[in-house]
């Protein structure tokens, strides 16, 4: 697929947070990520691995003192980093929408939720107030909020957490964005509501021909909703594969460790997780995961692994990827 057919094409993206006392912390170290229309990419990694920084860098919103040192972000073929601030503002919210956790903080407590959705539509799409209210009602229906006519006039505090998150999703999708970035947006919800919201996000994304970058710490939830999985560790993608291949044949020891952590099998967890006492003895210039890796060999401490294809469409950053799972 050529760059212009892709919704998002991120290449060699580096983001640093300068520090007064030490060398800058690199939150992203050369991330490449391509997202095709209709794709739902699950971006999985532990806390601190760089997920939010990637989402923000895509939107051009890395918080100071963070800086994008290098890299390219093409959105529908347009270079986001070279776009002027006004053009980018126009794009954000309309063509790229972000959903984050804590819906109550996202919503204005003193404006009825219907008006909040209508305001976004009015502002971005230049339709009349009446049409915007019509879209707001359609969106409340689409996100399956019961009794939507009445809920148009509800204030955020009158809604449950799950309902408030649906309103946030309705706002995100009201202008039919091409890309929806969901950053841990469902982590505060209980499992059933989480699945409902994700299902909704998926059906709306498919209906509107958009794409989703679904960021989560919970690898298990991506199995049902994502088309492709990308695993991030210490600011680098370490594995990327279509969902079926990823869950059938995970290849990177870190991915397998994450999957084992969600399994109910203590022996499996133990086999793929290094005991805390063993971790400190492997500092080196090689693989970033070496200190915690149960498969590391001497070479892992000296040679930096590159992200390479181990099967068609299946990439892993590892000298000794797991080929077969027993
Ligand atoms: N505002 C910030 N100031 C300094 N360092 C930051 C800031 N935000 C992120 N970082 C650094 O970037 C790393 C990745 O953070 P983040 O992208 O928030 O990870 P995640 O979303 O995966 O939890 C952190 O471990 C931290 O070192
Ligand atoms: S390169 Fe070596 S240390 Fe790194 S993940 Fe692969 S086996 Fe483990
Ligand atoms: Mg985060």
Please name the residue whose Cα sits nearest to atom 6 of ligand 1.
17
Residue 320 CB–ligand 2 contact under 6 Å: yes
- Closest ligand to 321 CA? 2
- Closest ligand to 53 CA? 1
Residue 51 CB–ligand 1 contact under 6 Å: yes
Band of pLDDT at residue 200, cut at 50, 70 and 90: confident
How far apart are the CA of 47 and the centre of ligand 3, in A?
A: 6
Mean model confidence pLDDT for the chain: 89
Mean pLDDT of the region 16-44: 92
How far apart are the CA of 306 and the centre of ligand 2, in A?
A: 11
pLDDT value of position 276: 63
- Residues, beta carbon < 5 Å, ion ligand 3: 51-52
Maximum average pLDDT range among 100-114, 187-201, 267-281 = 100-114
Please name the residue whose Cα sits nearest to atom 8 of ligand 1.
53
Residue 319 CB–ligand 2 contact under 6 Å: yes
How far apart are the CA of 152 and the centre of ligand 3, in A?
A: 31
Residue closest to 179 by CA, chosen among 1, 55, 70, 51: 55
Band of pLDDT at residue 278, cut at 50, 70 and 90: low
CA distances from 130 to 58, 121, 133, 248 (A): 33, 11, 5, 50
Q: What is the pLDDT of residues 212-270, one digit of tens each?
A: 999 998 898 899 889 999 999 999 999 999 999 999 999 999 999 999 988 888 898 88
pLDDT value of position 72: 96
| CA–CA dist 99, 63 (Å, integer) | 17
Mean pLDDT of the region 196-205: 78
> Is residue 280 scored above 70 in pLDDT?
no
Residue 253 CB–ligand 2 contact under 6 Å: yes
pLDDT value of position 105: 82
How far apart are the CA of 50 and the centre of ligand 3, in A?
A: 7
How far apart are the CA of 49 and the centre of ligand 3, in A?
A: 8
Provide the percentage of residues in the chain whose pLDDT is more than 70: 94
> Is residue 287 scored above 70 in pLDDT?
yes
* Higher pLDDT among residues 29 and 193, named by residue: 29
| CA–CA dist 32, 316 (Å, integer) | 13
pLDDT value of position 149: 96
Please name the residue whose Cα sits nearest to atom 3 of ligand 2.
290
Q: What is the pLDDT of residues 91-138, one digit of tens each?
A: 888 899 988 877 778 899 999 999 999 999 999 888 999 999 999 999
Residue of 26, 27, 65 to test ligand 1 pocket, by largest number of atoms within 8 Å of CB: 27
Mean pLDDT of the region 170-199: 83
Please name the residue whose Cα sits nearest to atom 5 of ligand 2.
318
How far apart are the CA of 166 and the centre of ligand 1, in A?
A: 27
| CA–CA dist 56, 321 (Å, integer) | 30
DSSP characters for 252-305?
SHHHHHHHHHHSS-HHHHHHHS--GGGGGGG--SS-TTGGG-TT--GGGGTS--
> Is residue 48 scored above 90 in pLDDT?
yes
The predicted model scores a pTM of: 0.91
How far apart are the CA of 148 and the centre of ligand 3, in A?
A: 32
Band of pLDDT at residue 195, cut at 50, 70 and 90: confident
> Is residue 189 scored above 80 in pLDDT?
no
* Higher pLDDT among residues 123 and 187, named by residue: 123
How far apart are the CA of 62 and the centre of ligand 3, in A?
A: 12
pLDDT value of position 326: 44
Phi, psi dihedral angles at 296 (to 5 degrees): -65, 145
pLDDT value of position 282: 45
Residue closest to 64 by CA, chosen among 21, 16, 23, 32: 16
* Higher pLDDT among residues 313 and 220, named by residue: 313
3 CB neighbour count, 10 Å cutoff = 12
The closest-lying atom of ligand 2 relative to the alpha carbon of residue 321 is 6
CA distances from 115 to 6, 173, 204 (A): 33, 15, 21
Cβ contact 190:168 at 8 Å: no
The closest-lying atom of ligand 1 relative to the alpha carbon of residue 56 is 17
């Amino acid at each position: 697929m050529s760059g212009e057919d892709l919704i998002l094409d991120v290449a060699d993206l580096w983001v640093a947070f300068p520090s007064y006392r030490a060398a800058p912390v690199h939150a992203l170290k050369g991330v490449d990520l391509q997202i095709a229309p209709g794709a739902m990419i699950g971006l999985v990694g532990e806390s601190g691995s760089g997920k939010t920084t990637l989402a923000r860098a895509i939107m051009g919103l890395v918080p100071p003192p963070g800086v994008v040192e290098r890299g390219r972000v093409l959105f529908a073929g347009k270079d986001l980093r070279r776009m002027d601030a006004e053009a980018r503002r126009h794009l954000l919210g309309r063509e790229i929408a972000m959903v984050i956790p804590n819906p109550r903080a996202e919503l204005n407590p003193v404006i009825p939720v219907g008006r909040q959705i209508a305001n976004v539509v009015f502002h971005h799409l230049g339709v009349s107030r009446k049409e915007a209210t019509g879209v707001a009602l359609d969106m409340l229906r689409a996100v399956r909020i019961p009794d939507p006519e009445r809920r148009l006039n509800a204030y955020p505090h009158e809604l449950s957490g799950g309902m408030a998150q649906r309103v946030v999703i309705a706002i995100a999708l009201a202008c039919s964005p091409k890309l929806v970035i969901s950053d841990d947006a469902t982590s505060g919800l209980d499992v059933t509501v989480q699945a409902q919201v994700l299902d909704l996000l998926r059906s709306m994304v498919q209906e509107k021909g958009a794409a989703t970058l679904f960021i989560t710490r919970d690898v298990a939830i991506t199995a049902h909703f994502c088309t492709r999985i990308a695993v991030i560790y210490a600011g680098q993608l370490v594995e990327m594969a279509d969902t079926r291949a990823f869950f059938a044949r995970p290849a990177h020891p870190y991915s397998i460790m994450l999957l084992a952590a969600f399994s109910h099998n203590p022996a499996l967890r133990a086999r793929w997780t290094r005991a805390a006492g063993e971790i400190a003895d492997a500092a080196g210039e090689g693989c970033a995961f070496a200190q915690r890796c149960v498969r590391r060999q001497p070479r892992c401490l000296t040679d930096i692994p590159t992200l390479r294809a181990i099967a068609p469409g299946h990439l892993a950053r590892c000298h000794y990827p797991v080929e077969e799972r027993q």
